[in-house]
Structure 1
Amino acid sequence: MPIENLGKTHLTEVEMEQINQALAAIEALVMPLTVNLNHKDKLGLCKVGEHNKLLINKVRDYAEMSPELRSPDVDWEEFRRDYATRSHASAAISRLQSLEGMLRDMKALNDHDNYTDALKDYRFAQYKTQSSQDAGYSTKAEQMKPFFPKTGKKKR
């Protein structure tokens, strides 16, 4: 017996609308602040991996604890704003990735349920085609048949 109805919880219309509104609000806040970089643009930027994050953090620590040691060539107010923005962006990305995982899992369960139900409905249409004179089932089964291109073909 196949596993059925794994997606036991469903979003209501109100919840779907609330999610859409929240996403639209985030997009509206972020859109004016972003620059759409193409691949070539990104290649020209330095990559800040874990090692370089440690360097940035160390420089920030020194700038805060020993301001007399700061380079006059750095706009430290801009550095502070950049740091705050990148830190917030990093935290937001982590949260969004977590939400993405939750939504992907929810979608996978509901995809599975929809697909198994679609297979049941197709089998039912095939059954009714053989046991009923109703042309609607025959038409339905024929229109669904292209989704199963290997069905009924014998291996050579």
Structure 2
Amino acid sequence: MPITNLNNVHLSNDQVETAKNALSLLESSLQEININLSADDRQKYGSINEQNKLFVNKVYDFHRNQPELEASEVDWSEYERDFISRQNYENLIARLESLTTKLKNAKILHDFDNYQAALTDYAFTAYKAGTAASGYEIKQNELKQFFAPVAKMPSKPSEGINK
């Protein structure tokens, strides 16, 4: 017997609406920074790698602790705002990615449960169609399109062998 109902936790309609409203609020609060980059722009500007993040952090440390050594050509107030924004976005992204993973995990279990129940229903439909119960043959014909046809085995060992 297959394992079913791996996830029996379901959000209420109120919880779904609250989550949707929270997402709408989040989307509107982040609207100001909503910038669409083209694929070329993403490639051109890209995300700085870990080594370069360490470099940016070290320059920030020098700026904060030994400002007499900083280049006058850099707008340091903008540098600080960018630095803080980077940290804020990175923290938000990490939380959102964690939430996304949790939602995907829950969805996977519900998908599995639905598929197992659908297979059970299909097996029952095939059984009932075999008994000529009314309506089941039509249902079976509609559902069997989702399954690949089974290859027939040759009846004699020599059949199906290329000579």
Same structural fold, with TM-score higher than 0.5 when normalized by the shorter chain: yes
Cα displacement (A) at 1:4: 0.9
Q: Residue 128 of structure 1 aligns with which residue?
A: 128
Normalising by the residue count of structure 1, what TM-score does the alignment of the two structures yield?
A: 0.91
Q: Give the structure with higher Rg (CA).
A: 2
Q: Counterparts of 2:46 and 2:115 in 1: how far apart (Å)? A: 45
Normalising by the residue count of structure 2, what TM-score does the alignment of the two structures yield?
A: 0.87
Letter in 1 for 2:89: A
Q: Residue 143 of structure 1 aligns with which residue?
A: 142
Cα displacement (A) at 1:77: 1.0
- The structure richer in helix per residue is 1
Q: Residue 91 of structure 1 aligns with which residue?
A: 91
In structure 2, stretches of 5+ residues that fail to align are 155-163
Cα displacement (A) at 1:17: 1.1
Between the two proteins, the alignment pairs up a number of residues equal to 154
Query: For each residue in 1:106-134, what CA deviation from the matched residue of structure 2 results, as whole angstroms up to 9, or x when unmatched?
Result: 01100000000001111111111122431
Does 1:82 pair with 2:77? no
In structure 1, stretches of 5+ residues that fail to align are none
Tell me which stretches of 4 or more aligned residues in structure 1 moved more than 6 Å.
none
Matched-pair identity in %: 38
Q: Counterparts of 2:20 and 2:12 in 1: how far apart (Å)? A: 12
Letter in 2 for 1:3: I
Query: For each residue in 1:43-84, what CA deviation from the matched residue of structure 2 results, as whole angstroms up to 9, or x when unmatched?
Result: 222541111111111111111112222211111111111111
The 3 A distance-change label for structure 1 pair 46 and 7 is: closer
